[in-house]
Chain A
């Protein structure tokens, strides 16, 4: 099965309550959300955040996928039924999906073609 040795990435500007992780392979960015609200965005290989996303809600998980050829991070709002959509390199969402669930906690992207 193999052996894996986890090690810290020493990412800065986190509050110790990490909940969601996602990697944007196309843009080389790592997204890290925390339970207190807000998501930090890191360039892969860098310890300091490039930017922070909207900090008004906690996202318990994150997902990234393509819509119309553009990479879009998805962040579920744990305090509502909403999922926030972001464009790459943006701090604020461009679209809010009001889902039918309550206390939105998980999101997953299925690409076209599967």
Chain B
């Protein structure tokens, strides 16, 4: 039953199985053992969904990805930029509604500006949002890393309202002071 479950999971994620196999080959590691082959104890456990999830996370962390949104598509596609052919490796649909702008912060958190009036926040590796920020007609999202703090801004088409999280430390650089443009 466990082997059957593993087979079902793998069959549901052919793209990932190919990506994992390719990554294993590139890294010189052993590919997932074929049925009937002699597998080491490390290959045997964990199996099934846990293993798929673990390999998926490894591949995700190893490679650069490009997230792509379409204004008439209620999903976000992610492409692996290191794999040959830059394959589709993930699709996010939960919490996506008329998406527009996207942003990723230094921790790999994905921010999706939904035209329906929210910014959805996906922690690295998650396909469901951990946080949904309500806004009026958001038009863009950007992430800024300021020393140890993070500032998150979401523009608003109708008003200048925005949300911020965390504070800029005292004495830290001000964006208005660090501009290279003089005499503007």
Contact = CB atoms under 8 A, between A and B. Distances in A.
Interface string B61-77: 11111111111110101
A12 B65 CA distance: 33
B167 A106 contact: no
Contact of A105 (B86, B100, B168): B100
A47 B180 CA distance: 11
Interface string A74-114: 10101001010000000000000101111111111111111
Contacts of B63: 112
B102 A107 contact: yes
B182 A45 contact: yes
Interface residues of A, number: 40
B58 to A, nearest CB: 12
Given A100-B77, A112-B82, A105 B99 contact: yes
Chain B contact-residue range equals 35 or more
Given A1-B167, A108-B110, A112-B82, A101 B176 contact: no
A50 interface: no
Given A45-B181, A114-B61, A108 B102 contact: yes
Q: Considering residues B64, B100, B182, which has the most beta carbons from chain A within 10 angstroms of its beta carbon?
A: B64
Interface string B138-153: 0010000000000000
A4 B175 CA distance: 8
Contacts of B86: 97
Interface of B: 61-73, 75, 77-79, 81-82, 86, 88, 91, 99-104, 106-108, 110-113, 124, 140, 164, 167-168, 174-176, 179-182, 184
